């Protein structure tokens, strides 16, 4: 896929359920109980179980792979973790939406400004990436 400055990339929506968080805990080795126990999550002041910030960033990377036409093209990726993604204990889960705009294309690659939201809230701060040209 050829990217040009100003391109608005097709929005990607991913549904996150509790089962996804359990699977991610196992795959990543991050077993912090705030990502699977309501009891622990609420005891530290959270509304309930939240997604791993790195899981949400992995969803942004998944969107980048889709836009780039395959894996292995991300040369830089980063964000701040600003708002938690609260994942309900039901079969429906919650939707995370990833949007992207190409800011600039240089020899270093395509700089992509991302927006990652859950409901009407941005859950990642200044998420950005560079895709190999």
Partner 1 sequence: MAVDPSLAGRTFPPTPPYPVSDERLREFARATGSTYDGESAPATFPIVVAFQAMTGLMQDPAVGIALHRVVHGDQRFTYTRPVRPGDVLTATLTVDSLRQIGGADIIGTRSEIADADGAPVCTAFATLVHKGEDA
Closer CB to partner 1, residue 6 or residue 128? Answer: 128
72 scored as a contact of partner 1 (CB under 8 A)? yes
125 scored as a contact of partner 1 (CB under 8 A)? yes
77 scored as a contact of partner 1 (CB under 8 A)? yes
Distance CA(56)–CA(97), nearest Å, equals: 10
For 60, which DSSP code? H
95 scored as a contact of partner 1 (CB under 8 A)? no
Q: How many chain residues interact with partner 1 (CB under 8 A)? A: 32
Q: Which of 71, 106, 119, 121 binds partner 1 (CB under 8 A)?
A: 71
Contacts of the segment 105-110: beta carbons below 8 A, 24+ positions apart:
105/3, 105/4, 105/5, 105/133, 106/133, 107/133, 108/75, 108/133, 109/75, 109/76, 109/133, 110/3
Distance CA(22)–CA(78), nearest Å, equals: 23
Q: Which residues in 9-48 contact partner 1 (CB under 8 A)?
A: 14, 20, 23-24, 26-30, 44
Segment interacting with partner 1 (CB under 8 A) among 2-10, 52-60, 87-95, 113-121: 52-60
Closer CB to partner 1, residue 6 or residue 95? Answer: 95
> Site residues (CB under 8 A) for partner 1?
14, 20, 23-24, 26-30, 44, 53-55, 57-59, 61-62, 64-65, 70-72, 74-81, 125
């Amino acid at each position: 896929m050829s990217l040009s400055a100003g391109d608005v990339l097709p929005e990607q929506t991913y549904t996150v359920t509790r089962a996804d968080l359990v699977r991610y805990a196992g795959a990543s080795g991050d077993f912090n109980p705030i990502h699977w126990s309501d009891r622990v999550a609420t005891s530290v002041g959270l509304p309930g179980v939240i997604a791993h910030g790195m899981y949400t960033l992995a969803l942004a990377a998944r969107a980048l792979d889709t836009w780039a036409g395959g894996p292995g093209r991300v040369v830089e990726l980063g964000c701040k973790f600003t708002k938690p993604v609260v994942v309900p204990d039901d079969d429906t889960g919650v939707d995370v939406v990833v949007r992207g705009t190409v800011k600039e294309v240089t020899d270093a690659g395509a700089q992509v400004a991302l927006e990652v939201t859950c409901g009407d809230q941005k859950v990642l701060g200044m998420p950005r990436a560079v895709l190999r040209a």
